[in-house]
Amino acid sequence: MSTTEANGVVFQARGLTKVYDMGQVQVHALRGVDLDLYSGELLVLLGASGSGKSTLLNILGGLDTATAGHVLYRDRELTTASDSELTEYRRHHVGFVFQFYNLIPSLTARENVAAVTEITRDAMAPEQALAMVGLGERVDHFPAQLSGGEQQRVAIARAIAKRPSVLLCDEPTGALDSTTGVVVLEVLERVNRELGTTTALITHNADIAAMADRVVRLADGRIVDVQRNIKKKPARELRW
């Protein structure tokens, strides 16, 4: 048993199934997924487009609900939680990073972070979070005045400022070139290491898997492989 496993289970998913009803057709995004996530672990979810990895992450983050199965966050049942319970869960426990950053265009970097810290307890100062992602100098810029990599780092600062216990990242480098992507991954690696935040990262880029504690491969809504990296590769050494 590794150190992370000893620290305890953060997420426990059993028989997770998700069916999207698209009118005439039904899309099976998840077909009975069993997965545990351990505290402090950096997990990479790998899979092709449509493999169900985003759906899995969204359900873990309380952004979506499962059609069948269970998810436990610590000892909290997410699958039966009400809308307001899920809101409370996202507000205090989860940090999200999306592929397209999803910043609020009318707010500056600092204000984007503040929009989240204002509603949680025990948050970092927005400036501190931005400093952690290396954007201490650009706090008063609007999203439109920032490059893609910078925008994604603001998004990460926004996600970590509340000191979440889990950080869920959906293709955080998907819209970035590899150099910029590496910078973003380094930030995520540092947050995982320094704050001990359990991190789940979705990618279809197999090269990124090298920085993970564990790599979970999904295909067609099922977990097809789980692999533990004996030796993690630092993010700055990644190339693709």
Partner 1 sequence: MRALNRKLLRDLMRLRGVVMAIALVLMGGVSTFIMSLSTYDSLVLTQAKYYRDYRFAQVFASLKRAPNSLARRLLDIPGIEKVETRVVAAVNLDIPGFDDPASGQLVSVPDRGKSRFNDLYVRRGRTVDPSRDDEVVISESFANAHQFRPGDTLSATINGRRKALTIVGIVLSPEYIYEIQPGSVFPDYKRYGILWMARAPLAAAYDLEGAFNDVALSLAAGANLDDVLDRLDELLRPYGGRGAYGRHDQLSHKFLAEEFGQLETMATVFPVIFLGVAAFLLNVVIGRLINTEREQIAILKAFGYGNAEIGWHYTKLALLIVAVGLAGGVAVGILLGKGMSAVYQDFYRFPFLEYELKPAVVINAALVAVAAGMAGTLFSVARAVRLPPAEGMRPETPPEYRATLVERIGLQRWFAQPTRMIMRHIERRPLRALLTVIGIASACGVVMVSNFQEDAINYMINVQYGMSSREDLAVNFVEPTSARALHSLRGLTGVTHVEGFRNVPVRLHFEHRSFRTALQGVEPDGDLYRVLDKDQKRIKLPAAGVVMTDYLAKILGMKPGDWVTVEVLEHSEPVLRAAGVARPRTFQFADVLAASQPALRIPLVAVTKQYLGVSAYLQRDALNRLLQEGDVINGAFIATDSRHQSEVYTRLKEMPRVSGTVVREAAIAQFNQTMEQMILFFTMVSAVLGAVIAFGVVYNSARIALSERGRELASLRVLGFTVGEIAYILLGELALLTLMALPLGFMLGRALCAYLVSQFESDLYRIPLIIESDAYSFATMVILVSAVVSGFLVWRRLRQLDLIAVLKTRE
Contact residue for partner 1 among 19, 72, 175, 210 (CB under 8 A): 175
Shortest distance, CB of residue 240 to partner 1, whole angstroms? 20
Determine, following the binding rule CB under 8 A, whether residue 92 of this chain makes contact with partner 1: yes
Q: Which residues pair with 170 in a beta bridge?
A: 202
Determine, following the binding rule CB under 8 A, whether residue 17 of this chain makes contact with partner 1: no
Contact residue for partner 1 among 78, 114, 156, 235 (CB under 8 A): 114
User: Where does this chain touch partner 1 (CB under 8 A) — which range of 38-46, 71-79, 117-125, 231-239?
Assistant: 117-125
Shortest distance, CB of residue 145 to partner 1, whole angstroms? 14
SS3 letters across the chain: CCHHHHCCEEEEEEEEEEEEEECCEEEEEEEEEEEEEECCCEEEEEECCCCCHHHHHHHHCCCCCCCEEEEEECCEECCCCCHHHHHHHHHHHEEEECCCCCCCCCCCHHHHHHHHHCCCCCCCCHHHHHHHCCCCCCCCCCHHHCCHHHHHHHHHHHHHCCCCCEEEEECCCCCCCHHHHHHHHHHHHHHHHHHCCEEEEEECCHHHHHHCCEEEEEECCEEEEEEECCCCCCHHHCCC
Q: Binding pattern to partner 1, positions 181-220, x when CB under 8 A? A: ----------------------------------------
Determine, following the binding rule CB under 8 A, whether residue 98 of this chain makes contact with partner 1: yes
Q: How many residues bind partner 1 (CB under 8 A)?
A: 36
Considering the complex, state which of residue 3 and residue 100 has its C-beta at the smaller distance from partner 1: 100
Determine, following the binding rule CB under 8 A, whether residue 22 of this chain makes contact with partner 1: yes
Residues that bind partner 1 (CB under 8 A): 22-23, 54-55, 58, 61, 63-65, 83-84, 87-92, 94, 96, 98-100, 102, 104, 106-107, 111-112, 114-116, 118-120, 158, 175
